[in-house]
Every structure is written in C-alpha cells, then in structure tokens.
Chains A and B, each alone.
Chain A
C-alpha cells in the first residue's frame, strides 16, 4: 500500500514539474534549447524503456529499434504535412503503424532463435531506411521538412508517463512474469505451458508501438526528418542508454536515457569526436559494469532510506 501512495506522490510531483516547465518555456523563461533538450530526454526515455521490454524483461536481443522510430516519424510526418491532418491523429497512427511493422517483423523473427533476432531486427532497420530513401514522395534521401512544431513538453511528458505506467503495469502483470520466466529459462517456461512465441511477439509489438510514438514526437520536435537520422547508429545510441541504465529496470531506463542525452548534448562541441566517445563509453560500461547502473533493480523512494541489503531482498 505504501508503494502505491509513494508512486502517486511521485507522479503528482512529476506532473506538476512538467506543467511548470511547460509554462516557463512558453513564458520565455526557459530557452528554446533547454525545452528541446528536456523533450529529447523524454523521447529517449520512451525509446529506451520500450526496448527494455524486449531486451531486459524478455531477454531477447533486438537491436534495430530506430527502424520502428522511423516508421512512426514518417507516418506521422506524411499525415501532418501531406494530408494536413491534426497531430493527435498522426500520433496515434504512428504508434499503430510501428506496432504493425513490429508484428510483421516479429513473425519471421521469432520462428528462428538466438542471435537471429538481432540480425533480423538490424536488417529491418536497414531495409526501412533503404525503402524510405527510395520513396521520392517523402523526399527520398533529402528528407522531409516543414513538419509543424506540434511536440511540446506536455505532449512528451504525457507520453513518457503513459509509457512508464503501461510498461510498469505490464511487467508486473502475469505477462511480465511470463516474460521473466522466458528470460530465465525458455525451455522450462515452455514446459510450464507458456506460449513462448506469442508472448515474445506481444512484447515486441508493444515495444514497436512506443518506438513509433517516440518517432512521431521526435519528427514534430525537430520539424525535419531524413532517412539517415534512423540508421543503426541511432539504434546503437538507444542500446547505449539501455545498457548504461541497466536492463530489466524501468527506472534504470530513465536514468540511462537522461544521463546519456545530457552527455551527448554537452559533447556537441567536439564535432565528430563525439561519435568516437559515445561508443567508447559503451565499451567501458560493458567492461566495468556489465549490469549497468540499475540492472534488474528499481529505484524507489523507500529504498533510498532503507539500509543496504534489505532493499536487495525486497526487490528479489
């Protein structure tokens, strides 16, 4: 019961903060750049947390998350720019389209096993970028400009909140327990009667859905999308955030995405060397902290004041 009040308190606090920041931004107290970075943090949290469902909770290895982001960004972009539809409709359609793409990719992907999921998702990522580059109606390699500035702090905050609440409830539900069971021992889970393929596909589709929403938000934040924003370099960036924060932990995803976004923004002055440093960070994290900052542990308000060791046992 205490946990429920605690999370209610945290969400109220966060919502108040988001509304306050949004109003400060509109009043011009916060610079446009600050608002942009805050929005980027939120979008990256959505991407990281949704990938966590597949890589962290389910224990599979998907690495082409930017592909679903691209589907969302382009579907939403076409709807607002070419068809002149309202943003909320484009936003919903972006999520659904990315979920559909995830379903289509997931069917062949989960008939194979092991590392093949990695190959197929990465392949999908490359194919989708390739396809977009070849469609002239959406600008081909030149990209698509003139997306309306529809994304604001309330939109991104609302989506982050929805993502974390939905994913948090999912991983604590029976579904989540089954996913964890599959992660820990797939054969045993099968023997217990878990419909493994179906369960994996569900996690994958949910992850794709949120990545699509993040893509729509991102496109309408930057107001310009082009295929090269969604290559496997972007996918790797999401992986870095996920593994930095730690797998199997939603608060880990929040921490990882926030730290990495701020770090990448502050390294912007270094130009191309920024792209050298971020993979180095990934390698060092893997060598020094193979579980990331919060791997398989959740941050909680109570845990901060509890003596060490107790929280471990309570989490397990």
Chain B
C-alpha cells in the first residue's frame, strides 16, 4: 500500500509534466488545426535556455523559471511568425510538413551549436525529503506537482474567464468571422503560441529538475507522449489535455512498476489506439459532424 502511494506521487509528477506540454499542443490545435510537431522541441529549447540561465547567470530557481518561460515564448512566437503565419491560407498539409521541418531544424541546430553530448542540469532547489508515515516525499516532487497544477489552473482561468481566452475560443470556433468581430486573429494566435511555449518551457525546467540530464533530442519522446496525452483527452480541449496527461503519467509509472520497463512506450501507444478506436475524438471530445 505504501509503495502504491509512493508510485502515485511519481505518477502525479510525470502526469503533471505531460499535461503541461500537452496543453501547448491542444491550444495550437484548437486555434490553427495544426499538429505542431515542433512543440516537443520547444520544450527542449526551454530546458537549454534554463541551463544557460542557471549556469552562466547563476540565477535562483524562480528567476530561471520565469525568465525561461518568457524567452521560450519569444522563440515560439518567432517560429509562428516565420514558418507558420505565411501559410495561413495554404493547404493544411503544407503547414504540418513545415512543422515537421521546424522540429528537425530545432533539434539539429541545437545539436550543431551545443553538441550532442548530454549536459548536466544544476539542481536549483534544495533537495529535502520528508517522511510522511512511511511515504517519502521529495521537495522537487512537491515543487513539480505544485507548479504544474498551479500553471494549469492559471491557464484554465485565462481561457475561461478573460477576454484573451474568449478570443481564443472564438478563433477556434470560426477563424473566418473573427476579424469581423474586431479581433485581430494574428495577435490571438501569437498569444496562443506564447502561452503554449511558456508552459512547455516550464515543463522543460521541471523535467530537468527531476531527471537532471538534458540533450538536443530529448523533446522527441516527451513531445510525442504529450501529443498522445492531448489526443487521448480530446485534442483542442484544455481539460482533455490535463486528463490525458495524468492518465498517461499514471499508466507509465504503473506499467514500469509492475512490468518490464521496455513495455512502457509500446503501452502508451497501444492505449492511444484503443481509445481512438472507441472514441475517435478522445475521451472528452464530442463527435464532429461533417458538413456536406
């Protein structure tokens, strides 16, 4: 039972990180109908920006987190501006292919500039552990769960209650008409990319605190998993991304705990296919009707 609770904490930690990154996928999909393949690499870029802030500027944790989120948001918006915006009216396929190109570019550019060797990420938080009736809880673990849940709640508030959130939901609903309502679609899309990239950067810092080695290709698997999470919950839905992230985190931790760990990736993919076979629009998604 104690081991189970211990695993539950690990699952919450991993699930929270997946959910943070999945939110970026789902938001971009919501407004642009684009699978942003580069999102996992934005997460990686965030981790590297954090590494440089932490090692060269020796900033404290909160400063590293906030500054990295801001700088990575700039990267995300730049990618949107250069590679995606010119294709607003192009076929969706060109947009998705471009995203794939951006993904490879970010990976290999990072590899060419900082090298392929894994880098150690400094521990920014004092490593304390508490014993709660047999269950060991680490400060990093509490921090990761706290920050990821906190950011998710903030995002949920922004999307549901603020004007920006309203504009984002409007653009997801109908991009053609939104201009007539006095909303600047480009600004809203840029804001979406900024928020998504900022969350991915936070995910990058948190992952780097939990598993303190980072490398240029780290975004591939995590990005892919986060995307599975987004699809699992219902792509385009904020709550779906969170639900999917936690489900995936829980499954992975428990599969790794009770089965050989090489099964982990295969099972994540199997879950996705099974869910899609029964609910093609994800767990929380509503069936879409095609207009004739």
> A residues touching B (Cβ–Cβ < 8 Å)?
55, 61, 63, 108, 111-113, 115-116, 118-120, 122-123, 126-127, 130-131, 134, 187, 232-233, 236, 239-240, 243, 272-273, 275-276, 278-280, 282-283, 286-287, 290
Contacts and interface: CB of A to CB of B under 8 A. Distances in A.
Given A119-B272, A275-B108, 15 more contacts: A108-B276, A115-B35, A116-B280, A118-B35, A236-B101, A236-B104, A239-B100, A276-B108, A279-B102, A279-B103, A279-B105, A282-B100, A283-B98, A283-B101, A290-B94
Contacts of A61: 93, 96
B269 A239 contact: no
B32 to A, nearest CB: 12
B29 to A, nearest CB: 9
Contact of B276 (A112, A236, A279): A112
A287 B98 contact: yes
8 contacts: A113-B280, A119-B231, A126-B269, A187-B290, A232-B220, A282-B97, A283-B83, A286-B98
B276 A115 contact: no
Interface residues of B, number: 39
Nearest to B83: A283
A112 B280 contact: yes
B254 interface: no
A272 B116 CA distance: 10
Contact of A120 (B86, B87, B96, B273): B273
A272 B280 contact: no
A61 B103 CA distance: 17
A108 B270 CA distance: 11
Nearest to B221: A126
A275 B276 CA distance: 34
Contact of B105 (A122, A243, A276): A276
A187 B288 CA distance: 14
A55 B100 CA distance: 15
Contacts of B102: 279, 283
A126 B102 CA distance: 19
Contact of B292 (A63, A111, A187, A279): A187
A272 B111 contact: yes
Q: Is the interface of A mostly helix, strand, loop or mixed?
A: helix
Contacts of B269: 123, 126-127
Given A275-B108, A287-B86, A126 B101 contact: no
Contacts of B111: 272, 275
B265 interface: yes
Interface in B22-69: 35
B104 A119 contact: no
Contacts of B103: 279
A56 to B, nearest CB: 10
B126 interface: no
Contact of B90 (A275, A279, A290): A290
A134 B105 CA distance: 29
Given A272-B112, A276-B112, A126 B265 contact: yes
B96 A115 contact: yes
Given A111-B277, A116-B280, A280-B101, A286 B112 contact: no
Interface in B256-292: 262, 265-266, 269, 272-273, 276-277, 280, 290, 292
B109 interface: yes
Contacts of A131: 266
Contacts of A119: 35, 227-228, 231, 272
B106 to A, nearest CB: 9
A253 to B, nearest CB: 15
B91 interface: yes
